[in-house]
A and B are shown apart, each in its own frame.
Chain A
Amino acid sequence: MTAPQSFYHTSSPAGLSGIRAWLLTHDHKRLGLMYLAAVFFWFVLAMVLGLLLRTELMGQGPTIMGPEVYNSMFTLHGVIMIFLFVIPAIPAIFGNFFLPIQLGTDDVFFPRLNLFSWYLFMLGGLFAIVALFAGDGFPDTGWTFYVPFSVEVDSNVGLTVSAAFILGMSSMLTGLNFVTTFHRMRDRSMGLMQIPLFTWSLYATAWVQILATPVISITFVLVMVERILGVGLFDPDKGGDPLLYQHLFWMYSHPAVYIMILPGMGVISEIIPVFSRKSIFGYKAIVWSSMGIAIAGSLVWAHHMYTSGMSDVSVFVFSLLTFLVAIPSAVKVFSWVATMYRGAIEMTPPLLLALIFIYLFTVGGLTGLVLGAVGTNIHVHDTHFVVSHFHFVMFGGTGFAFFAALHFWWPKMFGIMYRFKPAYIGASLTGIGFLFHYVPMLILGLQGMPRRYYDYLPQYETGNFLAGFGGYLLCLGIVIMFVNLLMSFRQQQPAGADPWGATTLEWSVPSPPPLHNFVAPPVVASFPYDFTTVVERAGKGGS
């Protein structure tokens, strides 16, 4: 029997060639790679913007840009990172590529809808670009588009919120597709407790996407209506209440934080057991904690609004609920650590990145508790402490999970292996740079430096300079990682079906997988993380 052709050589629908085979494809794997290309572009752009911002802040007073440009730039950085990188990165790229394979099937349930979601994603991106160059320039409202400023300002708020609306739609439809696939396309022999944890986390995420995204859609529609018609729903002069905007906004945007982090946690839950050669500790606890985070995380939105004049009762209730979310998150962290305990650990780049994730995510989680507690929150509200906290979670968490996923699944997606040494160097530099970048911000925040300010008092200069220095280190590390990955295309070192000794279904198929994913009908293991055979194989000297 000849080796099956990979999906790169077979188009779906059949008979398409060249660029059409990509742009009209129904194949979830091609769509995953198309998302990868788009997301990569946005990530690099927003990273450069972030670096420019921190460069501006390295010295007091104007250095490389004026205050208006600065305001637009941090808005653009936020909008791109949130809506075009962190939310779509893991579900749309790795979820699309691996969810069907992990479930033992050949595609998602609605393949054409999947393609449609990609076009929505691109359209949203296009709107963002148009908003950048057309008319009065990009908004300087911050990514939160708070009223009344967002309703009154002349810049392209309308276009930008339309972009976010369309991107939300794309993310919601992807979630809908995943939930349906999960229920209807799963291999018949795969019970609920035999599903890999990455897929479980995507399932929990998909529910949050379906539940929460429409709220932001309607909120953005209202911003547009207010800009066009001036109804006054959020305008105190006309009887409206601006606080309600904040409620509606965070009703989505806080759950969105879990849309961002849950898939990352799923990635880590895959990587840790593989390189510990040991079954995941607390499989069911991890599954339930994913669902727990999805539910509890939907009920904590007003912790962004402690200082906005809510009643003390609401503040108390939301603070309590916020603390509850820490429990399922900690369950996961302890499970990962317990998985490694007495495991046969094999160091590889994805594992190193996963370890950095655990460390940074834990710091992010703990600083989150500082913010969730009302007393401390009021001290550090809207300071650099907050900026640092959410970058620890979003970047130290999701960002590093994204890098880890890239290194983990790269050989599967492209069938080639990258060099380890540069990957280690890049990952370590990124980690060290990260700490240099964000720890000073924690301290600056505690000292009282507000976020989103163009300039600051002299006592904050040292911290800001250090943070900028760390930012360059961080970006250097990322560039090394990316260049190393891209260099693997030149070296063309074949990877084999299962280079890591992993047990989930995607490693039982050739790299890269054939069009219908499976050469033979998949054999579903009674437990997805049983490493007995992997360890035996290694003991016999095979690999």
Chain B
Amino acid sequence: MEEDEWGKLIENLMKEGILQSPNVIGALRSVPRTTFLPENMRSYSAVDTPLPIGFGQTASAPHSFSLLAGLGETWFQ
């Protein structure tokens, strides 16, 4: 279920043109964010928003990371 939601999020980022390069897409598929979240945040893993990880810090929103790591990504300003 969670993996499906993660897959759907990736599809959406691809449709929006935020994710384009095959190596970034493949890496995101291999490394879902959920493993890296505190337990109470895991159900939000596939929501495209930053999530608290404690110590006043956040895990990046998937679209932000896609843009940073990305190749040929669309950048909105």
Query: Are both chains from one complex?
Result: no
Residues of A within 8 A of B (CB): none
Interface residues of B (CB under 8 A from A): none
